[in-house]
């Protein structure tokens, strides 16, 4: 596990060589520290030199791929997610992995199940970086409303996975929309909302059974209106300046906490070295000092310290471009990296800064106006972000219906980009819902593209996926066929839905 995690982290930086600050200044030390964050985590994991308290997961993934044979999908238009479009393409899935991708000449292994896909399109499984499935499940009742711990501006101690109800029917509908991996985020009431959960979209009895093996956690933060609105009359923050004061105070505390633990680990390592096998009772008179005592754990600070250390990705809900620029400077101040701005409605106003700093922008195709900080949305937002070199444009949903058609949302955004002359081909736009979200979640070493060795997370569409008429016909997760629009036995239905008389007329996921 440690090795594969290291592999994920090694390729995790989201663009960003030779970064410059918004003002054009040279990279600072803090910048470099932020860039090095992922590398440090990798070292720690690989060498296991430090105690693994922060990196270990007390709720480890128990996900295991379902059985699959060898499958050959051939004759389709293949968008690899790595920038290629292959006509009359062949994709071979074996042992849960992508075995090969190419044209009609790719060898067909003997005994493989053949899917004739002429006229169909094949893409990597779709990934949504912003979902609340499970935390705000169907049915939406007070009993199930578990997505937003709006009781204090900093609730970094809460973990979204502890709210995820694996029986949310939304997961099944998302599967029918081609979603194979997704990030469940806490809500955005708070400056720090808590940890995210990254899941494979495979039904399980437990959330651990859905957790994406080895995916680093994320932390959710929020800019602007929401924290102000929720806490303005509850002791603050009531202003954007107090939002920033709140973030910075928390980072200062987290940096201290991190230092305290690092000091302890150092002393402990020294002590262990002096005492040899610590289980052996020390000889009388052999005074190597008292064994250092571990600091008391603080879940809130642990999450933030891990974010500072680069072990946890920072997911910042931020609509306005000017606020994004401030957040980037704050990240520099404290030496962490903002992985992704979510709901980045004004990303187009600062698309150059984002690309320079290697930050992903996750956006809707065209939601706007529901609040003032969403007033300046434009339909070309994703396309203009994407037009920058080294950019990372993502289409996200934040919605249990939107997640079912991220392909269409990407189609909307691509069309508007093309109409302003940006010339975005399908093989590029598909990255907005596959490779780029994988990068944002630091799972791009394992999924997000159709490349040999990666998880066989694959969607066969009935046609061009960017069409309003597109439907996922077959969805494979780790090579296992988990949704087939033509086969009700390959269509999951959650506990809540079975035995409901009125729900018995279609095939579950594809309902």
Partner 1 sequence: MTMNHSSLKLLTASLAAAAASIAVAGAQTIAIQNARVYTMAGAATDPTGGGVNNADVIIRDGVIAGVGQDLPAPPGATVINAQGRVVTPGLFAPWSQIGLVEIGLDDEANDSSTEDDFALSAGLDATDAFNPSSTLIPINRAGGVTRAASAPEPGAKMFGGQGAIVDLSGAPGSINRAQALQSVAMGAAGAGYNGGTRLGAWASLRDALDEARAYAANPGSYLMRPREGGLSIIDLKALGPVARGAQPLVVYLNSATDIRALIKLKAQYGVNAIVLGGTEAHLVARELAAANIPVILNSFLNLPSQFENLAATQTNAARLAAAGVTIAFYDPPSGAHNLRLLPQLAGNAVANGLSYGAALAALTINPARIYGVADRYGSLEIGKAGDVVIWDGDPLEVSTRPIAVLIDGRITSLKNRQTMLRDRYKDLSRGDLPHAYRGAN
Note the residues at the interface with partner 1 (CB under 8 A).
138-141, 169-170, 173, 225, 229, 348-352, 366-372, 375-380, 384, 399-401, 404-405, 408, 411-412, 414-416, 418-420, 466-471, 496-497, 500, 502-503, 505-506, 511
Strand bridging mode 480-484 / 472-477? antiparallel
**In terms of CB distance, is 125 or 170 closer to partner 1?**
170
Distance CA 309, CA 323 (A): 23
3-state class of 413 per DSSP? helix
Least Cβ distance, residue 248 to partner 1 (angstroms): 26
Least Cβ distance, residue 346 to partner 1 (angstroms): 9
CB 240 within 8 A of CB 228: yes
Using a 10 angstrom Cβ sphere, with 0-12 exposed, 13-18 middle and 19 or more buried, the burial of residue 451 is middle
**In terms of CB distance, is 63 or 136 closer to partner 1?**
136
**Buried b / exposed e across 174-185, counting CB within 10 Å, b at 16+?**
bbbbbbbbbbbb
Q: Is the dihedral of CA 301, 307, 313, 319 positive or negative?
A: positive
Distance CA 262, CA 253 (A): 14
CB 450 within 8 A of CB 125: no
Least Cβ distance, residue 490 to partner 1 (angstroms): 18
Joined together, the tokens standing for residue 394 give 């993502």
**In terms of CB distance, is 215 or 222 closer to partner 1?**
222
Give CA torsion, residues 253, 255, 260, 266, to 10 deg. 170
Annotate 134-188 with DSSP letters as a single string: TTSPSS--GGG--S--TTSSB-TT-BGGGT--TT-HHHHHHHHTTEEEEEE---S
Least Cβ distance, residue 397 to partner 1 (angstroms): 12
**In terms of CB distance, is 37 or 411 closer to partner 1?**
411
Joined together, the tokens standing for residue 32 give 């470099």
Distances (CA, A) of 184 to 85, 163, 490: 30, 10, 24
Least Cβ distance, residue 87 to partner 1 (angstroms): 18
**In terms of CB distance, is 246 or 411 closer to partner 1?**
411
Distance CA 322, CA 300 (A): 28
**In terms of CB distance, is 361 or 455 closer to partner 1?**
361
Joined together, the tokens standing for residue 259 give 């230092």
Contacts (Cβ under 8 Å, ≥6 apart) of 2: 45, 46, 48
**In terms of CB distance, is 445 or 510 closer to partner 1?**
510
**In terms of CB distance, is 330 or 415 closer to partner 1?**
415
Least Cβ distance, residue 353 to partner 1 (angstroms): 9
Least Cβ distance, residue 465 to partner 1 (angstroms): 11
The residue assigned the tokens 């990030």 is: 183
Distances (CA, A) of 394 to 277, 342, 385: 50, 9, 9
Contacts (Cβ under 8 Å, ≥6 apart) of 456: 68, 71, 93, 94, 96, 97, 98, 476, 477, 478, 479
**In terms of CB distance, is 400 or 444 closer to partner 1?**
400
490: number of Cβ within 10 Å: 18
**In terms of CB distance, is 169 or 202 closer to partner 1?**
169
Least Cβ distance, residue 494 to partner 1 (angstroms): 9
**In terms of CB distance, is 400 or 457 closer to partner 1?**
400
Joined together, the tokens standing for residue 328 give 């980037």
Least Cβ distance, residue 259 to partner 1 (angstroms): 39
**In terms of CB distance, is 52 or 140 closer to partner 1?**
140
Least Cβ distance, residue 78 to partner 1 (angstroms): 20
Least Cβ distance, residue 72 to partner 1 (angstroms): 27
Least Cβ distance, residue 169 to partner 1 (angstroms): 6
Using a 10 angstrom Cβ sphere, with 0-12 exposed, 13-18 middle and 19 or more buried, the burial of residue 187 is buried
**In terms of CB distance, is 217 or 353 closer to partner 1?**
353
Least Cβ distance, residue 43 to partner 1 (angstroms): 37
């Amino acid at each position: 596990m440690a090795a594969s995690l290291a592999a994920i982290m090694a390729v995790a930086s989201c663009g960003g060589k030779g970064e410059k600050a918004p003002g054009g200044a040279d990279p600072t030390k803090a910048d470099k520290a932020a860039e090095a964050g992922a590398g440090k985590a990798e070292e720690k994991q690989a060498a296991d030199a430090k105690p693994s308290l922060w990196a270990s997961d007390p709720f480890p993934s128990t996900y295991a791929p379902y059985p699959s044979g060898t499958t050959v999908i051939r004759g389709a238009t293949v968008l690899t997610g790595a920038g290629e479009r292959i006509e009359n393409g062949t994709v071979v899935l074996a042992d849960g992995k992508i075995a090969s991708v190419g044209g009609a000449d790719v060898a067909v292994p003997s005994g493989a199940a053949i899917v004739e896909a002429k006229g169909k399109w094949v893409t990597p499984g779709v990934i949504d970086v912003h979902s609340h499935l499970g935390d705000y499940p169907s049915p939406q009742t007070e009993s199930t409303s578990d997505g937003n711990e709006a009781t204090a501006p900093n609730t970094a101690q809460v973990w979204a996975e502890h709210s995820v109800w694996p029986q949310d029917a939304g997961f099944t509908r998302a599967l029918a929309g081609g979603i194979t991996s997704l990030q469940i985020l806490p809500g955005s009431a708070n400056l720090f909302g808590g940890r995210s959960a990254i899941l494979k979209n495979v039904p399980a009895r437990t959330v651990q059974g859905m957790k994406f093996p080895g995916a680093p956690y994320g932390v959710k933060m929020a800019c602007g209106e929401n924290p102000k609105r929720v806490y303005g009359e509850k002791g603050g923050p009531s202003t954007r300046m107090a939002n920033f004061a709140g973030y910075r105070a928390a980072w200062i505390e987290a940096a201290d906490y991190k230092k305290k633990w690092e000091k302890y680990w150092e002393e402990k390592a020294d002590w262990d070295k002096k005492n040899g096998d610590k289980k052996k009772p020390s000889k009388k008179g052999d005074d190597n000092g008292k064994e250092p005592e571990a600091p008391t754990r603080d879940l809130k600070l642990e999450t933030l310290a891990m974010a500072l250390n680069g072990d946890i990705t920072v997911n910042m809900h931020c609509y306005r471009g000017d606020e994004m620029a401030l957040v980037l400077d704050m990240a520099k101040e404290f030496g962490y990296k903002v992985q992704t701005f979510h709901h980045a409605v004004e990303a187009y106003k600062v698309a150059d800064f984002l690309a320079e700093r290697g930050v992903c922008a996750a956006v809707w195709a065209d939601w706007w106006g529901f609040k003032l900080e969403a007033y300046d949305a434009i339909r070309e937002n994703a396309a203009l972000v994407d037009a920058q070199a080294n950019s990372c444009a993502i289409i996200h949903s934040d919605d249990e219906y939107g997640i079912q058609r991220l392909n269409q949302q990407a189609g909307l955004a691509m069309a508007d980009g093309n109409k302003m002359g940006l010339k975005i081909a399908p093989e590029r736009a598909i990255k907005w819902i596959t490779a780029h979200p994988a990068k944002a979640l630091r799972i791009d070493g394992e999924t997000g593209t159709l490349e040999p060795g990666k998880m066989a997370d694959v969607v066969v569409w009935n046609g061009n996926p960017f069409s309003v008429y597109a439907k996922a016909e077959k969805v494979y997760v780790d090579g296992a066929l988990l949704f087939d629009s033509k086969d009700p036995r390959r269509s999951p239905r959650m506990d809540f839905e079975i035995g409901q008389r009125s729900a018995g007329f279609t095939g579950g996921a594809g309902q």
